[in-house]
């Protein structure tokens, strides 16, 4: 009899298979089948949910509390909706220090205020010591549509932007875990992406927040769903120096590092300059950059290509399984 | 050291290599023994320009994840799924190799047991200190670069009388593998690129039998693209001069006598043994085992593991031939089809230095002119 | 962690453990394999252990060799 393995939660192939075989098959719903960041309900709202099990609970730049708000808020933003309401489900482990819980709740409240959302409903459960890892959080979010992602209108020449340096969150978490034996001053980029909302009226065709699997996964999933290949340039990708060297040491490609406050955006070429200026006005978008484009002069449909810094060209694929530091 | 990746410098080195390569109808075959070299050659786009210059780089067996037989993985998986209160500590790469009962990554540990990924053997020992009621087994796989560190943890465990720590050893030696490949005579090689960091430990002497007994040149090289090209250039110079030897092209990190302190430590705790390599079969004196004096820290003895070297790879998997340099990953029917990074059939598709994964990740694309290189 | 780019030793304690710095990232390192190593030295770290000391003079020789080769083209 097969058992669930940790690998299934990593976002790679096993999870995708699970989604298709066990979830979509069972819950025959055209809305669900879209597997988009938020479902657009005929009621005129966007609806999304996410669960947060991050370890450690507190890390440089944030904690599980603000993560649980911003993560859900950002899913709504990149789906073209202004976030309005959140539900908050808490599963607490017996023995959790109330000081820590207070801190997390304060963090949630602060993040909610920052995102302009109201926590309107929720639930709290306590499980026996040893049956839950201190705290698990689930948030569901509801927003009102302000634009509509239209990947169907993406054409060669459209530009790909990222809103800031990649990988800060991943590196901060790995460092805070202390299991990989390194320290860094890098702090998580955990933040709301509300400043992207106006772009829906200024030509944005598609957005995705760059979470688990990193930029390469997010873009290669898009490439699979449009008829044109994408090409990005290694040298244009914003990376802070400490993240670059941490990734080098760990043997991890920075294009696969997760963020919690960065997005990839696609806009038509003519609107790219304006979009970039708009994003850069915001403190979290200062280092935004155009990193590539949708193309028709090279590659084949479904491909994500990378122009490397040493002058070569290669194909990037979605993350297939948990990122593991290398050994030799 | 940006210079070592500077495209202008690389182009100049390639031009020099082209000049120095004797013209010949078939390419000159140089074996890069070390998996990290295989990865670097592909990652920095050196494979194609070297082919154009008439040099074919052949991947060798220097990937510990790739050559550790399934039987050892099976032993590790068996331990952690059967025994309670156990911590199986391991390097990351090892967990994805598909063995008979699946991989460590998909294994579900027994009650109160866990698999812990570590970046250093020290961490495994520390886990044993911190959790005295758990039994820690460190699945220690590696070549001479990693072995001294593993030996040190055994020494410390002995000194501190740490009773809940042992090592499941898969400690391989590079020079015997090189000899085995040359003795098998399956491919015609013109020279070798020797591993930079293994050499930092063992020095140059262990390779001297290659020019002395087989008349083949070789160079110890580092891992930046310029380092690799300097190494190849040196092999060509030795060929041209008819003076095969062991040249040191990574002198900023390697002393020709290697690291004596590290070697002494290895000699103190470990001794050579014959061992079966995946794909290469039995090679005399090619691995290290923990000496009887330290048997309390040898997981095989302590936990009564019966590791049989004889085991079959999954049918159709040609990892062994890839490791011997006989075929390229593309020659295998499973490559890119049934055997892919997300569903690897053999370890060469798992390890970041495995030739199959490297070829899949960085391989030339069909229908794409690699103009920029 | 095998990639082994050189880093600078920033601290060593009496037990032979310490940290190596790579442009802002600090790796916990065991220096037992390099007796006599001190802060300021450059090393290659592998699996949490410093395995070899960098030789600056040799590094400069390599750079000069590269310059020569580039000039010849």
Is C3–A248 a contact, with Cβ atoms under 8 angstroms apart?
yes
Residues A279 and A250 in one domain: yes
The rounded distance, in Å, linking the Cα atoms of B35 and B14 is 22
* pLDDT above 60 (res B102): yes
- Find which of A240-249, A293-302, B170-179 is predicted with most confidence, using mean pLDDT: B170-179
Is residue A30, in this structure, part of any structural domain at all?
no
| B48 pLDDT higher than 90 | no
- Quick one: which of B291, B302, B312, B278 has its CA closest to B79? B302
Selecting from B92, B106, B368 the residue whose C-beta is nearest the C-beta of A327 gives B92
Chain B residues closer than 8 Å to A12 by CB: 342
Instruction: Express each pLDDT in B226-266 by its tens digit.
Output: 999 999 999 999 999 999 999 999 999 999 999 999 999 99
Q: Is C11 on the interface with B (CB under 8 A)?
A: no
**Across B130-141, average pLDDT:** 96
Does C3 contact A182 at a Cβ distance shorter than 8 Å?
Answer: no
Q: What ipTM does the predicted assembly reach? A: 0.94
User: What are B263's two structure tokens?
Assistant: 């070697």
Q: Where are the alpha helices (DSSP H) in C1-73?
A: 56-72
Given CB atoms, is C53 within the 8 Å cutoff of chain A? no
Please answer whether residues C20 and C8 qualify as being in contact, where contact means their C-beta atoms are separated by less than 8 angstroms: yes
Q: Is A321 within the bounds of a domain?
A: no
CA B166 to mean position of chain CA atoms: 23
Q: Dump pLDDT digits (tens) for C12-44.
A: 999 899 999 998 889 999 999 999 999 999 999
Percent of chain A with pLDDT over 90: 67
Query: CA-CA distance, B143 to B213, in Å (whole number)?
Result: 24
Structural domain boundaries, residue A188:
151-316
The span from the CA of B223 to the CA of C1, in Å, is 14
Residues A243 and A195 in one domain: yes
If you measure CA to CA, which chain B residue comes closest to A5? Answer: B106
CATH of the domain at A282: 3.90.650.10
A130 Cβ under 8 Å from any chain B Cβ: no
- CA–CA gap between residue A305 and residue A323 (Å, rounded): 20
In a domain, A10, yes or no: no
Q: A-C interface: how many C-beta pairs under 8 angstroms?
A: 55
**Tens of pLDDT along A244-269?**
988 888 878 899 999 999 999 999 99
Least confident of A313-322, B161-170, B333-342, B350-359: A313-322
| C73·B11 Cβ contact <8 A | yes
DSSP letter assigned to residue C32: T
CA distance C10 to chain B (A): 19
Instruction: Please tell me what DSSP assigns to residue C25.
Output: E
Percentage of chain A modeled with pLDDT above 70: 95
Contact C52 B261 (CB under 8 A): no
Structural domain boundaries, residue C41: 7-72
- The answer as to whether C47 is a domain residue is yes
For residue A97, which of A151, A135, A68, A48 has the smallest C-alpha distance?
Answer: A135
| Phi, psi angle pair for B346, to nearest 5° | -130, 165
A214 plus A105 within the same structural domain:
no
The rounded distance, in Å, linking the Cα atoms of A114 and B286 is 62
CATH number of the domain bearing residue A45: 3.30.1330.10
Same domain for A267 and A161, yes or no, is: yes
Touching subunits of A (3+ CB pairs, under 8 Å) are B, C
Retrieve residue A74's tokens. Answer: 């950002």
Name the band, by pLDDT with cuts 50, 70 and 90, for residue A81.
Answer: very high
Ramachandran quadrant class, C11 (left: phi over 0; alpha: psi -120 to 50; beta: rest): beta
Which among A182, A245, A248 has CB closest to C28?
A182
Give CA–CA dist A123/C6, Å, rounded. Answer: 51
| C66 contacts B225 by C-beta, under 8 angstroms | no
Shared-domain flag, residues A126 and A245: no
CA A13 to CA A7: how far, in whole Å?
Answer: 9
> Encoding tokens for residue A222?
């898009």
Range of A128-132, A303-307, B22-26 with top mean pLDDT? A303-307
Shortest Cα–Cα distance, B46 to chain A (Å): 9
Residue that terminates a domain, selected from A145, A165, A190: A145
Q: Please indicate whether, in this complex, the C-beta atoms of B36 and C2 are within 8 angstroms of each other.
A: yes
- A118 & A174 share domain: no
| Interface subset of C 14-73, CB within 8 angstroms of B | 28, 30, 32-35, 44, 46-49, 51-52, 54-56, 58-59, 61-63, 65-66, 69-70, 72-73
Residues A177 and A281 in one domain: yes
Contact B119 A13 (CB under 8 A): no
pLDDT at A86 over 90: yes
Count of domains forming chain C: 1
Task: Give B309's pLDDT tier (boundaries 50, 70, 90).
Answer: low
What does the pLDDT read at residue A322? 62
Same structural domain for residues A112 and A141?
yes
Residue A13 with chain B: CB contacts under 8 Å: 342-343
- Nearest-5° Cα angle at C54, C53 to C56: 140
Rounded to the nearest integer, the mean pLDDT of chain A is: 90
Half-sphere CA count of A274, side-chain side, radius 13 A: 12
Q: Is A176 helix (H, G, I), strand (E, B) or coil?
A: helix
State the helix-helix crossing angle for A168-177 and A241-250, rounded to 10 degrees: 60
User: Which stretches within chain A are classed as H helix?
Assistant: 13-18, 30-33, 64-78, 98-115, 168-177, 214-225, 241-250, 269-280
Which CATH number characterizes residue C61's domain? 2.30.30.140
Task: Identify the structural domains of chain B with CATH numbers, from first to last.
Answer: 1-363 (3.40.50.11740)
pLDDT tens-digit map of B320-342: 899 888 899 999 999 989 898 87
* Whole-angstrom distance, CA of residue A133 vs CA of residue A131: 7
- What is the Cα–Cα distance from B16 to B25, expressed in whole angstroms? 20
Tell whether A181 is covered by a domain.
yes
Q: Which two tokens stand for residue B18?
A: 């082209």
Interface of B with C in 194-233 (CB under 8 A): 196-197, 200-201, 223, 226, 230
Give yes or no for a contact between B275 and B310, defined as CB atoms under 8 angstroms apart. Answer: no
d(CA B174, CA B98): 24
pLDDT at B138: 97
Q: Which of A110, A145, A180 is the last residue of a domain?
A: A145
Contact (CB, 8 A) for B40 and B199: no
Distances (CA, A) of B310 to A179, A265, B275, B278, B301: 35, 54, 10, 9, 19
Within an 8 Å CB–CB cutoff, is residue B254 touching chain C? yes
Helix (H) or strand (E) holding A209: strand A206-209
Query: Whole-angstrom Cα distance, residue B206 to residue B176?
Result: 9
A152-209 pLDDT, tens digit each: 999 999 999 999 999 999 999 988 887 788 889 899 999 999 999 999 999 999 999 9
CB B38, CB B59: distance < 8 Å: yes
Indicate the residue of A7, A308, A310 with minimum beta-carbon distance to B105. Answer: A7
Q: CA of B290 to nearest chain A CA: how many angstroms apart?
A: 20
Using only C-alpha atoms, chain C has a radius of gyration, in whole angstroms, of 14
**What does the block give as tokens for A245?**
């060297």
Q: Are B35 and B258 in contact (CB under 8 A)?
A: no
Determine the length of chain A.
328
With CA atoms as reference, report the closest residue to B207 among B181, B243, B246: B246
Q: What angle do CA B93, B97, B98 make, to 5 degrees?
A: 160
Q: Is residue C15 part of a domain?
A: yes
HEC secondary structure over chain B: CHHHHCHHHHHHHHHHHHHHCCCCCCCEEEEEEEHHHHHHHHHCCCHHHHHHCCEEEEEEEECHHHHCCHHHHHHHHHHHHHCCCEEEEECCHHHHCCECCECCCCCCCCCCCEEEECCCHHHHHHHHHHCCCCEEEEEEEECCCCHHHHHHHHHHHHHCCCCCEEEEEEEECHHHHHHHHHHHCCCCCCEEEEEHHHHHHHCCHHHCHHHHHHCCCEEEECCCHHHHHHHHHHHHHHHHHCCCCEEECCCCCCCCCCCHHHHHHHHHHEEEEEEEECCCEEEEEEEEEECHHHHHHEHHHHCCCCCCCCCCCCCCCCHHHHHCCCCCHHHCCCECCCEECCECCCHHHCCCCCHHHHHHHHCCCCCCCCCCC
Indicate if A99 and A179 belong to the same structural domain: no
Number of domains in chain A: 2
Buried b (16+ CB within 10 A) or exposed e, A275-308: bbebbbebebbeebbbbbbbbeebbeeebbbbbb
- Alpha carbon of A306 to those of A192, A276, B60, B65: distances in Å? 28, 21, 28, 28
A241 touches chain C (CB under 8 A): yes
Using pLDDT thresholds of 50, 70 and 90, give the confidence band for residue A15: confident
Chain C residues within 8 A of A182 when measuring between CB atoms: 25-28
Please tell me whether the peptide bond between A56 and the residue prior to it is cis, using omega within 30 degrees of 0.
Answer: yes
Q: Which residues of B162-177 are buried (b: 16+ CB within 10 A; e: fewer)?
A: bebbbbbbbbbbbbbb
Residues A128 and A215 in one domain: no
Q: Write phi, then psi, for A74 (nearest 5 degrees).
A: -65, -35
**Cα B269 from Cα B169, distance rounded (Å):** 12
Chain A contact present for C69, CB below 8 A: no
* Residue A144 or A320, more confident: A144
Q: How many CB atoms lie within 10 A of CB B261?
A: 14
CA dist A221 and A324 (Å) reads 21
Domain boundary among A93, A123, A145: A145
**Contact criterion met (CB < 8 Å) for B261 and C1:** no
Chain B residues whose CB is inside 8 A of the C32 CB are 152
Query: A327 to chain C nearest CA, in Å?
Result: 5
Do residues A311 and A205 both lie within one domain? yes
Q: Kindly list the residues from chain C whose CB atom is less than 8 angstroms away from the CB atom of residue B255.
A: 52, 55
C2 within domain boundaries? no
Cα dihedral B124, B125, B131, B135 in deg (nearest 10):
80
Q: Which of B336, B365, B373 to mutate to test the interface with A (most CBs of A within 10 A)?
A: B365
Cα A260 to Cα A78, A91, A167, B51, distances in angstroms: 13, 22, 9, 43
In this structure, the answer to whether residues A97 and A184 fall within a common structural domain is no
Check CB contact of A221 with chain B, cutoff 8 Å: no
Do the chains contact at A183 and C2, CB–CB below 8 Å? Answer: no
pLDDT of residue B219: 98
Q: What is the model's pTM?
A: 0.85
- Residue C1 in any domain: the answer is no
The predicted pLDDT at position B3 comes to: 86
């Amino acid at each position: 009899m097969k058992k669930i393995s940790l690998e299934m939660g990593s976002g790679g192939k096993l999870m995708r298979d699970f989604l298709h075989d066990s979830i979509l098959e069972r819950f025959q719903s055209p809305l669900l089948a879209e597997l988009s960041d938020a479902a657009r309900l005929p009621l005129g709202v966007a609806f999304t949910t996410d669960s947060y099990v991050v370890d450690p609970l507190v890390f440089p730049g944030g904690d599980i509390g603000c993560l649980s708000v911003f993560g859900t808020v950002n899913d709504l933003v990149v789906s073209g909706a202004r976030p309005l309401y959140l539900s908050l489900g808490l599963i607490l482990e017996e023995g959790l220090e109330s000081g820590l819980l207070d801190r997390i709740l304060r963090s949630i409240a602060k993040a909610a205020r920052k995102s302009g959302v109201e926590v309107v409903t929720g639930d709290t459960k306590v499980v026996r010591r040893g049956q839950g890892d201190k705290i698990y959080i689930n948030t569901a979010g509801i927003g009102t549509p302000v634009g509509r992602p239209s990947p169907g209108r993406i054409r060669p020449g459209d530009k790909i932007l990222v809103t800031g340096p990649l990988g800060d969150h991943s590196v901060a978490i790995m460092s805070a875990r202390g299991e990989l034996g390194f320290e860094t001053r890098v702090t998580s980029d955990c933040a709301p992406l509300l400043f992207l909302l106006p772009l829906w009226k200024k030509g944005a065709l598609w957005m995705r927040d760059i979470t688990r699997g990193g930029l390469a996964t997010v873009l290669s999933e898009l490439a699979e769903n449009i008829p044109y290949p994408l090409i990005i340039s290694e040298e244009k990708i914003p990376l802070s120096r400490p993240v670059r060297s941490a990734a080098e040491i760990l043997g991890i490609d920075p294009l696969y590092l997760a963020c919690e406050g960065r997005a990839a955006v696609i806009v038509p070429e003519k609107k790219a300059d304006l979009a970039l200026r708009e994003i850069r006005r915001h403190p979290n978008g200062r280092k935004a950059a155009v990193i590539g484009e949708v193309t028709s002069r090279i590659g084949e449909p479904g491909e994500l290509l990378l122009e490397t810094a040493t002058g070569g060209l290669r194909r990037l694929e979605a993350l297939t399984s948990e990122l593991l530091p290398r050994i030799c | 050291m940006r210079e070592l990746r500077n495209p202008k410098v690389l182009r100049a080195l390639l031009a020099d290599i082209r000049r120095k390569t004797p013209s010949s109808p078939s390419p000159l075959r140089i074996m890069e023994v070390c998996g990290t070299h295989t990865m670097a050659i592909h990652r920095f786009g050196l494979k194609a320009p070297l082919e154009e210059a008439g040099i074919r780089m052949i991947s060798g067996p220097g990937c510990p994840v790739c050559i550790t037989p399934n039987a050892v993985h099976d032993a590790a998986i068996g331990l952690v799924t059967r025994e309670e209160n156990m911590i199986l500590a391991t390097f990351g790469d090892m967990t994805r190799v598909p063995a008979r009962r699946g991989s460590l990554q998909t294994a579900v540990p027994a009650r109160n047991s866990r698999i812990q990924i570590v970046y250093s053997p020290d961490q495994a020992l520390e886990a044993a200190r911190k959790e005295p009621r758990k039994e820690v087994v460190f699945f220690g796989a590696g070549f001479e670069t990693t072995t001294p560190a593993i030996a040190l943890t055994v020494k410390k465990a002995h000194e501190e009388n740490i009773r809940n720590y042992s090592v499941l050893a898969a400690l391989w030696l590079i020079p015997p593998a090189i000899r085995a490949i040359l003795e098998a005579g399956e491919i015609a090689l013109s020279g070798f690129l020797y591993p930079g960091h293994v050499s930092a430990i063992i020095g140059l002497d262990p390779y001297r039998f290659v020019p002395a007994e087989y008349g083949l040149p070789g160079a110890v090289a580092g891992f930046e693209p310029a380092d690799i090209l300097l190494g190849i250039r040196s092999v060509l110079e030795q060929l041209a001069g008819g003076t095969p030897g062991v040249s040191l092209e990574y002198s900023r990190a390697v002393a020709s006598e290697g690291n004596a302190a590290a070697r002494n430590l290895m000699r103190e705790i470990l001794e050579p043994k014959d061992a079966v390599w995946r794909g290469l079969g039995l090679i005399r004196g090619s691995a290290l085992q923990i000496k009887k004096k330290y048997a309390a820290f040898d997981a095989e003895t302590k936990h009564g593991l019966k590791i049989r070297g004889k085991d079959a790879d999954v049918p159709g998997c040609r990892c062994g031939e890839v490791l011997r340099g006989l075929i390229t990953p593309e020659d295998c029917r499973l490559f890119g089809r049934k055997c892919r990074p997300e569903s690897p059939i053999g370890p060469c598709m798992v390890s970041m230095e495995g030739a199959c994964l490297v070829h899949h990740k960085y391989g030339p694309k069909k229908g794409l002119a690699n103009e920029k290189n | 962690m095998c990639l082994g780019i050189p880093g600078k030793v920033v601290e060593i304690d009496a037990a032979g453990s310490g940290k190596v710095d790579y442009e802002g990232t600090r790796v916990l390192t065991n220096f037992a394999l390099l007796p006599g190593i001190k802060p300021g030295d450059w090393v290659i770290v592998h699996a949490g252990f410093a395995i070899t000391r960098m030789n600056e003079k040799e590094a400069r020789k390599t750079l000069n060799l590269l310059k020569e080769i580039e000039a010849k083209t």
